[in-house]
Structure 1
């Protein structure tokens, strides 16, 4: 080949190796399928408004529904128009039918309380959003989050109940509910009533123990140690160690089958102790306390806050507040008392109408003395002949008619008796009786002599043989006459001037006079110093 000779280049078509592209194509198809499946499963994006984020983290926190993860938090924004945050969450497509007006959301975060740990799963995975809903209703994508789980959400079989109390007794959500020393539920929520008068406590009781709760059930706060001063001594009740350290609520149902069932809309009363819960109660329904204004113009100096309100021996309320002022030399006072109007109800569904009917029939309030030594007072509800009227002053405040203070204490009754005794002419009666005996001593002597002679004559007559021959009936009659004459003779002798009868009668009258004077001095001392019997002069 010559150097200048050009070699012709032969061009050949390159062969495509499809085997090399199989793997990338398959990977692309799989990736596309996964992307499709991902977006196919995605449901709508929802926004939930909370007061704060509650520990939620974007791309990490989940939305759970029936313990299944059905969404993820994508972002959290701070609201500019109002306080709070907006949590945006991408939901799964299969929960779309549940995103309606019935859906509710709240944040679950770990909480450690005495004797109870809530949100244990959140302790490991972090805070998450819990969802509750059901199919039906108008579709929604914006929701207002709740501060806590709603009471009607029951994750296990059982029922919720509503308790009312005058105090929270430091109860907190999560504390146990006991029945016969068995833990049968827990406290769900504790909040102040809108009226500010009571505390609402919501509890959950598991099945089958919820069936033992009805209108006769009594609830009380567990204090661990319950000391009660009774007539037979001091009663000391100590609960279990867990009850002593933790506390909680306990209940007892005296009539398990006879009373009507109740639900979350009918509150039950929570008593401060077991002793007060099981104390005798007037009425068939649950406790229903109302506030009443009582006006008195005198006699409240010994009335204290917390003094009982009674009706025919039953304690149905207490004094909550006392206000007094001086007007024109007189003391005008206003007493606020909390009274259980359920004492006058026949069924648990009635309101204040039965109590109002009792006021129309003359029911009124009166101050009475409960202790003769301390002079402490209490409010007693009594019926008066004159009818009254109940006036409503505020939402939960009524004006109850009152009666003047009645001095009906034991000391006053004794003083009245002694006054009557002092008015008796004892000394004059003794003198008159003595004069009577002295003036009539001679007639009495003559009478005694005549009676003695007559008796002897009858005796001789009975001893005579002629008398014995008389008919039997006449003989018996003469014996009766003899017995009667001797009886009159004995009686006449007993009324003589120096007889035992006169001496005993005179001594008795003198003792009565001395005792009345001595007792009068004691009563005067007690009136000035009521505790003189305990501490002396």
Structure 2
């Protein structure tokens, strides 16, 4: 018991020392600072990029509207080594800026079609630009390859376009209305199923009011050289569209449209003419069977009635043609599919007359002689069109269909009619007995020479008779008659005026026939030689003789 008293007394002697307050306060302050730092930190996000060019840990800033809102804290590769993972610590209070529509892209010096940008980063270095979002909450984002052309706050309308068989345009290419830039291409894609190029356009306000359900889109021709039935046309737009291309749109006069919502889809055509042709959605298809050469008739060529366009050629030749079909025809014809478009003639179509009424009208006019023919509209390019007009005394049409479409009766074109008549004339000339005619003319000339000789002999005999001494015994009237006959015969002699003239005429006729003989012979061999050139065969060169061998 006595041993425990000293230990209790020693414990009572231990007292609290104030020096311990220093580390305790330091721990409390450090903990508070850590808590404050943790409480004031913004969210940690990840940005996936194809590469981390120009970015550095602890140096690269994240900015929104040129205000620092964060910093890059880590950069590493993804697990598949195909992307760079960039970790960014944002400032406190930025969590509400993160949404599904938040965008990030790198600002650095760029030289492109839009010009030179990002020159301010040459000294400060590249940084990440942030466009705040508003929808949802997200912590992992994809880095854009370039700055977006529009922001979520921009007012306007977005549209989708599809094109087939046309060249690709790039992002940022302008959209024009009557030559004025009203928008641009935001995105370009490709549809593997339909093999169409897809575009997303943005039309800025207030120009979005120009877009309605009746607008058509076509490629803006930077420089276009178009050969058509009307000739050769050269179209040149601005230098900007010449380098980068562009898209134009417009509305046909008299076609009122309705407003359309965002992301409405339209078709993109190669030219304004193609876009206008596709406005006519009410038409009557016919198959035109031509017995002549259709070279020069192309898809898109006009169908005209006395110079007024009433339709369009759609397929040359029509793909419904088959060998069996041609083999069963006595005179095989080439089918061409074309359509009659009543909307070109009637702006209030479907209000005044229906498509069925137009079909009945065309049937009645065909019975009255309405026929189609191929005509050359441009001699320089050889382009052809289908011309429809009334033909007098036309043969009655036979009700025939081809490939499921009604066949429009056709006749030969004006040029083909002239050519056929000329060929018939030349064929008759070729069948004429030219050789026999030449022989007859030569015999006639020989007989004429003999007749002149006989006339000369008779004239000489009369002169001798008149000079004889017994001439006075002849009656006076007989003597006068003989003198007159002598004068007449002397005129027809070779030395006489009539004889010389007749002889010259015969000689001229002989020379003309000699000159015409090669031409007539060529026409006999080739009846179309006057239309188509036939080159003469090269003159034969006799082979050189062998030199004599010296002995």
Give the TM-score normalised by structure 1: 0.48
Query: Which one has the largest radius of gyration?
Result: 2
